[in-house]
Amino acid sequence: MVSPERLAAFAAMSLLVIVIPGPSVLFVIGRALAHGRRTALATVVGNVIGSYLLVVAVALGVGSVVERSVTVYLAVKFAGAAYLVYLGVQALRHRTKLRAEQITAAGGGPARGDLRTVLDGILVGVTNPKGVVFFAAVLPQFVDHSAGHVPAQMLVLGLMPILIALVTDTLWGLTASATRAWFARSDRRLSLIGGAGGCTMIGLGVSVAVTGRAD
């Protein structure tokens, strides 16, 4: 199906792209700072699911439509940017409630529903302009058309960046949530770190909106 050489080459290319923090990484960090480790890990799961949905879309030919259509591309980009800003504003509004959320989590009940958190991550992952461009423009270059089964090859190749992102994003989330644990010893510091997480997401949303392809 897919040769080990092509898998290794695409994995190396994916690693080079993933190690540069993009919307998904910053989103995970923002959620970790605002809500803690459990939310961060659920966000990571959602992000990788959303990213793999992009792989599926490219394999089915939808990705090329997004890449070639300025209107569709911009719609995807601005939808993701707007949602990031919305989540950032929500984190800022509720930053003073983080102590209560922490107590609730310690008592066994999550401060934020895991399913809702995963869905948030999926939406951000599937509207990530960096992911759209990477999978639509780079993934097809590693397919061996002479071997046939092109969609299946894309689905297999697409697992490489997903697995890499799962590991690296998890490390980012755990690191950020560990930092948050120190801030959690003080209501004021916890409120500040919640605000920082909100500002991170708002800044990320604005960055996603104003950068990228503009043609």
Query: What is the per-residue pLDDT across 86-95, written as a single tens digit (0 to 9) for each?
Result: 777 876 776 6
What is the length of the chain? Answer: 215
For residue 177, the enclosing domain spans: 4-209
Query: C-alpha angle 135/11/200, rounded to 5°?
Result: 60
Asked if the structure places residue 53 within a domain, the reply is: yes
Asked if the structure places residue 35 within a domain, the reply is: yes
Q: What is the pLDDT of residue 119?
A: 92
Q: Please, which residues have CB within 8 angstroms of residue 209's CB and are 6 or more apart in sequence? A: 77, 78, 81, 82
Give the percent of the chain with pLDDT over 90: 18
Asked if the structure places residue 214 within a domain, the reply is: no
| Greater model confidence, 52 or 195 | 52
Q: What is the pLDDT of residue 193?
A: 62
Q: Is the pLDDT score of 108 beyond 60?
A: no
Q: Tell me how many domains the chain contains.
A: 1
Instruction: Convert the pLDDT of each residue in 27-44 to its tens digit.
Output: 888 788 778 889 999 999
Q: Is the pLDDT score of 101 beyond 50?
A: no
Answer yes or no: are the C-beta atoms of 203 and 23 closer than 8 Å. no
Answer yes or no: are the C-beta atoms of 129 and 23 closer than 8 Å. yes
Q: What is the pLDDT of residue 37?
A: 87
Dihedral angle computed from the Cα positions of residues 172, 176, 177 and 178, in that order, rounded to the nearest 10 degrees: 100
Q: What is the pLDDT of residue 49?
A: 96
Asked if the structure places residue 28 within a domain, the reply is: yes
Asked if the structure places residue 215 within a domain, the reply is: no
Asked if the structure places residue 132 within a domain, the reply is: yes
Q: Mean pLDDT of all residues in the chain?
A: 76
